[in-house]
Amino acid sequence: MMSVAMKICYFHVPAQMPADASPDAAVVIDVLRATTTIAWALHHGAEAVQAFADLDDLRAAAEVWPADRRLLLGERGGQTLAGFDLGNSPVAVVPSTVAGKRLFMSTTNGTRALDRVRQVPLLVTAALPNREAVAQRLLQESPETVAIVGSGWEGTYSLEDSLAAGALTTRLQDLNGAVTVANDEATAAMALWQQWRHDPEACLRKASHGQRLIQLGDHDDDFRFCAGLDQLSVVPMQQSPGVLQAI
């Protein structure tokens, strides 16, 4: 593969990203569980996932979409929102449920991160299952500057998002020697990945949000889906503001 100069910065949470930052590409990560759910939903045939930070905006947009071709996905604090069809679980977005439908989605953290970078020219979402596919797509598109944006937990650092940021950055450097790391956060994320790369699920379970999910009930399948590395070829890409499709 031809070497393409690319600078990677990682921001733990959207608010950490400077207001005047204007990267050529942005990669939003919310391992537990929004960007994992988005990847699996599109893999299983969803027409698109439309992300919203605000629930009223979500409901208004969903109202004008045919009822038989829409699903509402909502989660706050790890639990499904009342009146929504689904929560925020990659296990639930099976083909029989989501194929051909638009998913209107709002979550505690991930959809807010997407909202922060929706004006970036090239916007994709990444998780561990589509890490390789996202790396290949970025090298194909060859942006000079890439901001990887973690979703965190209610504005604070999350271990699992940094793990995936490190996994993606490491893979990009493995594939292309011209990829450089432009901030300490990305370097630290790569070190984290080296520590946990042989058992990423253990890292997800140790993370504070992983512990939160464990307290909420049986999420073993969610952990398995979220930790499965390089299983999907789908790259969710923003086609219009907030609308992610498999390209």
Which residue ranges make up each domain of the chain?
6-246
pLDDT at 4: 74
The pTM for the full model equals: 0.97
pLDDT at 2: 59
In the chain, which stretches have pLDDT less than 70? 1-2
Closest CA to 93 of 64, 62, 72: 72
Q: Which CATH number fits domain 6-246: 2.60.40.420, 3.30.1370.160, 3.90.1560.10, 3.40.50.300?
A: 3.90.1560.10
- Whether residue 118 contacts residue 17, with contact meaning beta carbons closer than 8 Å, is answered with no
Alpha-carbon Rg of the chain, whole angstroms? 17
Whether residue 118 has a cis bond before it, omega within 30° of 0: no
